[in-house]
Structure 1
Amino acid sequence: MSYSPAETLHRLVKEAVDSGQAESVQAAEALFRGYRLALSIDAGAACSPTHQTALLTAVNLARRVFLGGVDVIGPLETPLLAPLPLGATLAEGVTRLGGRVASTMKTGIPLIRIGGARAERGAGFDVRTVWRSWRGGVVPAYADLTDNDEDAMPLAPMLAAAFAVSEAFFHVRGGAPVAGRRPLGLSLWAPGSPDGLTEGEEGPPLERLPAALWLIGLGHLGQAYLWALGLLPYADPSSLHLVLQDMDVITPSTESTSILTEASLVGRMKTRAMGDWADRRGFSTRLVERYFDAGFRRRDDEPAVALCGLDNGLGRRALDKVGFDLVVEAGLGRGHRDFHTLRVHTLPSSRSADQLWPVAPQGEDLSGQVGYRKLLADGVLDQCGVTLLAGKAVGAPFVGAVAACLVISELLRLLHGGPLHHVIDVNLMSPGHQQVVVNGQDFSGFNPGYTALSEAVR
C-alpha cells in the first residue's frame, strides 16, 4: 500500500521544514538522523521497577526523536520488573522499544542518567532523572538532588523520563539554551507549583486505581494514555475495563509520535492494534470503530469516565453532550512555534465544550516555506498536496507523555480525595510557569469506580 507524503512525514522532522531551518524534507530528515542519545543505568537502579519504568519510557520516546539511534549502557540482563508486556529482561524490553544495548559510551553524545548518584560536572549535556511521591523531573547530573523514591507513584518516573528526553531534544535543536542546565519538573498531585520537584504537598500513597475508562482517539495522546495506564500496579489487570474508540488506520507518520506504534503495525486499524497491546497487558477491552460526534450516546452500563485524545474541535465540542459523567481531555500545540505546549481540561466545568472549543480560524499557511516550494517545483506534489502536507501538525512524543501523566493523575487524584482541574497549561520550554485553575464543580457524590492495587506495592 502506498502512502502520501502527508501520511509518511515524521511529525517532529516537520518542525525543521515549517520553521524554514531545512531547505527540503530530505535535509530535515538528514538533520534528525544526526541526532543521537545515550542512556545509562547502574546496577542498583537496573533492579528497581521505578528506574526500569523511567528507562523504558525514555527509550520509547527518544528513539522516535533521536533518529541517529539511542544507546543504552548498563547491566540490562536483570529480570523485567516494570508491568509492561516487553519480554523477560530489561535488555529485551530496551531492544523491543528500539534502543541499542551498548557496552561503551561514545563521546559527544547527550547523556541521560536514569537515577543514580550525583556525577561530576562535565562539558556536554548530562542530566539525571529524579522523582519522589507524585513528583517527577530532571536535574543536571552534578546537582545535589538525588530523590528516586521506590514508593513513588508510578507515573512520576514516566514524567521524569519525558522531561529528560524533552531537555535533550531542546539541547540538540537549540530551542532552549538552558536545557540540561536547570532543574525541571512538576507535581502530579499539586500542579502549578513553581518548583514542582521540591515544593508543595507530596500526595498520598496510591490505594485505588480506575476500573472502567473510555478512550476516545488512539493516536499520539491515546497511546500515551495506554502506556501510562500500563504502568499502574493493578492487582488483577483484567479488572480495568477499557473501551477503545477510533476510526483511523496506522500510517507511517503515526510511529513518530505514538508510543505504542511500530513499523509492523502500519496499515492496521488503531483500535485493533491498541486492543492487542491492552490484551497483552491483561486489560479487558472492547472496541468501537465509529466517529465520535454529538450524535454519539453512551449507555448507562458503559464506562462513565472518558479520556479524550482527539485533535479536532468537532469531536471535542461533543464531549459534554453524549452522556459521560467525567471527561479528562488533553490538547497539544500543533505548530513549529508551540508544539511543546499542552493543555488539560476536565468536564463538566464552568465552561461548556462549545465555549472551550469554538470554531477556530484557519491556522498559519506554511505552504510557502522553502521546503514545500521545493516539493512543488520538483513535481513531487501538486499545490493541493503541498497545502495538505503543510497543514499537518508538528508533534513530539515527549509532549504527549507529559500530557498523559497529567490526564491519568486527574483520575488518580479524584480517587484519593484531591481536586480536579478545569485547566492545566504547561509549556515544556518553561514548565515552571504553569497556568492552573481548579474545577469548581462538586464531584463529591461521583464514584468513577475503582479497583485494587497489587499487594507488592501496598
Structure 2
Amino acid sequence: MNAIIPSVEELSRPAKALIDSGRVTAFGDAADILTANVPTVIAGAEASSYGYQAALLTAVETTARVFAQAPVYLAPVVADGPCLLPGLSHLTLAEAVVQAGAHHMRADDASVGSRPVIVIGTAATTGIVSLQVTWDHWVASVGTTGGRLPERGNMVLAPVAAAALAVAECFKRVLGVDEACYRQRGLNLWQPDQTSPNSIQAGLEEEALGPVLQFLPKSAWMVGLGHLGQGYAWCWRLLPYLDPSQCELLLQDFDKVNVANRSTGMFVKPEHLGLMKSRVVASALEGAGFKTRIVERRLLPETLRHPNEPELALLGVDKLEPRRLISNIGWAFAVDVGLGAGPVDFTGISIHTFPSRTSSHDLAAWQGHGSTNRAAHAQQQDAYRNAEAAGADGCGLVQLAETAVAAPFVGVVAACLALSEPLRILHGQKQHITLSYDAGRTALPRGSRAAEVPRIGFVETSREVRTQEGPWRSG
C-alpha cells in the first residue's frame, strides 16, 4: 500500500519548515509539534485602543495560520467592547479575534504551561516564556523582561511589526533555535539600518523615533496577492486614513486560492477556496472603505502605467520575469520584496526600490535561482526518505520538495518595511535602494540610500488622527 502524502496545494507552508529541516520523521508529525507549542496571546485593558488592537489581531491571525490554532485571553473589560479596526467595526473585540481563528479563553482555562505567552498591554502571566509586544512611534520591540516602550504615536505598522516578530520568535523556538523567545527583538521602521535592538530597549532620541504620520499615499498598485501581497494589504488596511475612500488600490493577480494559502495568506478563509485572490483581497479592502480596481492577469512586457493609474507600486511576486519589468512600467516609485524559501532562510527579506541607478532587468541578485539545490537538500530529510520507502509517489515528493517554505509573520514584517518606504519619503526621508533583513534573527538590517527623493501623491491625515486621540483611543 502506497503512503499518503499531502499535495502541494494542501501542505502547510510553515509546517514545511519542520519537514525540510529534519525536525520530523513523517509529514503528519509537523502538525502535532505545532499544536503542542502554540503560544497563548494575552491582551490587557489597553486593547480598547487602536494600536493595541492592530497588534492583537496581527498576532492572532499569524498564530492561527502557523499553528492551526490561537488561544487568546482578553481582559474582560475589553472583550465585549468594540473592535476599532477598519472593516471589523461591526464586531466586538472578542468576536473579531474568534473570526480571526482564535479560541477565546476565559480566566479559568487560561493555563499556558511551558508554552510561550505573547503579551499586548498590561497583563499578569504565569507563563515560563513571556514576550511583551511594545512600540514607540516607528519603533517596534519585543521584550522578554517585562519592560515596555511608551506605546505612542499613530504609526500603526510599529505595533503590527512587533506582534509579527513575537510570533516569529515562537516559531523559531519550535524549529529548535535555543535563544528564541529569550532575546530582545527590535526594528526601527524610520531608521531600520541604524538602530540595534539593544539601543531600542535603552531608549532612543526623539529624532530617531520618527514623526507622527501626517501624509499617506493616495493610491497604490499591488502586484501579486499571495503571501506577501496579502501582507501589504493587511498593513495598508490599518493605516490611519481619515477617509479611506480617498485612496484607490489597483490589485493585480491571476491565481486562485487553494488550501495551502490558508497557512500564509492573511485574508484567506476556508470559504475562499477556489476564488480569485484578487477578489478576496478586494473584498477585505472595500470592507474597510478603500476603492479598488482588479486586474486578473500577469504583469506582461507590454504593461504600461496609464497617467490615471497609481504611481506607487508594491510587488509581491516570486518569479524573476515580472521583477525584471519593474523599471519599464512607468511607476514613479516601486518597492519590490523577495523572501527566502528554505527551512532556514525563509525569514530573510530583501527589498529593492526603483527608480535606481541599476535597471530592474540588470540586478545581479535576481539572475540566479536556488530552488534546485533546496529541493535536493529537502529530499535527503527523514520525512521524504521514509515516505519514499513506504511507497509514496515519487513525483509528488519531488513537487513537495520544490515548494517554498513560507510563514505569514515574515510577510507581515516584510510588508511593514516595504510600506514604510513610501511613508518615509512622504515625511522627508530618502528611499532605501536596497534593504536586507532577517525576521528570524537579531542582526541589524543592512541598506543603501538614494541620492534623490521621488515624488508620490498623498492625502493628509486629520489632526485628530495624528495624535493618540480620536480613532487611536476609545472613550
Give the Cα separation in 2 of the matches to 1:209 and 1:408: 10
Give the Cα separation in 1 of the matches to 2:323 and 2:273: 26
Give secondary structure in 1 for the equivalent of 2:328.
coil
Distance 1:180 1:28, change over 3 A: closer
Question: Paired residue for 2:7, among 5, 8, 13?
Answer: 5
Q: Does 1:424 align with 2:430?
A: no
**Deviations, residues 157-199 of structure 1 (Å, cap 9, x unaligned):** 1011011111122223322x22222221111111111236234
1:331 is aligned to 338
1:394 is aligned to 405
Distance 1:368 1:295, change over 3 A: farther
Give the Cα separation in 1 of the matches to 2:219 and 2:149: 36
Residue 88 of structure 1 aligns to which amino acid in structure 2? L
Give the Cα separation in 2 of the matches to 1:376 and 1:217: 34
1:131 is aligned to 135
Give the Cα separation in 1 of the matches to 2:260 and 2:131: 29
Give secondary structure in 1 for the equivalent of 2:132.
strand
Residue 26 of structure 2 aligns to which amino acid in structure 1? S
Give the Cα separation in 2 of the matches to 1:86 and 1:62: 22
User: Residue 83 of structure 1 contacts residue 233 of structure 1 at CA under 8 Å; is this kept in 2?
Assistant: no
Give the Cα separation in 2 of the matches to 1:379 and 1:245: 41
Q: Does 1:148 align with 2:158?
A: no
Residue 340 of structure 1 aligns to which amino acid in structure 2? T
User: Residue 74 of structure 1 contacts residue 103 of structure 1 at CA under 8 Å; is this kept in 2?
Assistant: no
Deviation at 1:33, TM superposition (A): 2.5
Return the structure number with greater relative CO, CA threshold 8 A, min gap 6: 2
Question: Paired residue for 2:367, among 349, 358, 363?
Answer: 358
Give the Cα separation in 1 of the matches to 2:169 and 2:88: 28
More helix by share: 2
Give secondary structure in 1 for the equivalent of 2:349.
strand
Distance 1:6 1:86, change over 3 A: farther
1:457 is aligned to 465
1:16-165 matched pairs, under 5 angstroms: 16-43=18-45, 45-75=46-76, 76-85=79-88, 87-104=90-107, 105-108=110-113, 109-116=115-122, 124-140=128-144, 142-149=145-152, 151-165=153-167
Give the Cα separation in 2 of the matches to 1:262 and 1:401: 17
Deviation at 1:413, TM superposition (A): 0.6
Q: Does 1:373 align with 2:385?
A: yes
Q: Give 5+ residue unaligned stretches, structure 1.
A: none
Give secondary structure in 1 for the equivalent of 2:118.
strand
Deviation at 1:456, TM superposition (A): 3.2
Q: Does 1:314 align with 2:321?
A: yes
**Deviations, residues 341-372 of structure 1 (Å, cap 9, x unaligned):** 11111112122212321143543212333322
Runs of 4+ in 1 over 6 A off after TM superposition: none
Deviation at 1:454, TM superposition (A): 4.4
TM-score by length of 2: 0.89
Question: Paired residue for 1:233, among 240, 247, 252?
Answer: 240
TM-score by length of 1: 0.92
Deviates more, 1:272-281 or 1:215-224: 272-281
Residue 211 of structure 1 aligns to which amino acid in structure 2? K
Deviation at 1:123, TM superposition (A): 6.8
Deviates more, 1:345-354 or 1:279-288: 345-354
Deviation at 1:432, TM superposition (A): 3.4
The number of residues matched between the two structures is: 446
Q: Give 5+ residue unaligned stretches, structure 2.
A: 467-475
Deviation at 1:402, TM superposition (A): 0.6
Deviation at 1:288, TM superposition (A): 0.4
User: Residue 84 of structure 1 contacts residue 231 of structure 1 at CA under 8 Å; is this kept in 2?
Assistant: no
Give the Cα separation in 1 of the matches to 2:330 and 2:336: 15
2:267 is aligned to 260
Residue 115 of structure 1 aligns to which amino acid in structure 2? G
1:201-280 matched pairs, under 5 angstroms: 201-280=208-287
**Deviations, residues 215-242 of structure 1 (Å, cap 9, x unaligned):** 0000111101111111111111111111
Give the Cα separation in 2 of the matches to 1:85 and 1:263: 18
Question: Paired residue for 1:285, among 276, 280, 292?
Answer: 292
Deviation at 1:430, TM superposition (A): 2.4
Give secondary structure in 2 for the equivalent of 1:12.
helix
Give the Cα separation in 1 of the matches to 2:148 and 2:291: 40
User: Residue 142 of structure 2 contacts residue 166 of structure 2 at CA under 8 Å; is this kept in 1?
Assistant: yes
1:179 is aligned to 180
Distance 1:19 1:421, change over 3 A: same
Percent identity of paired positions between Structure 1 and Structure 2: 35
Distance 1:123 1:62, change over 3 A: closer
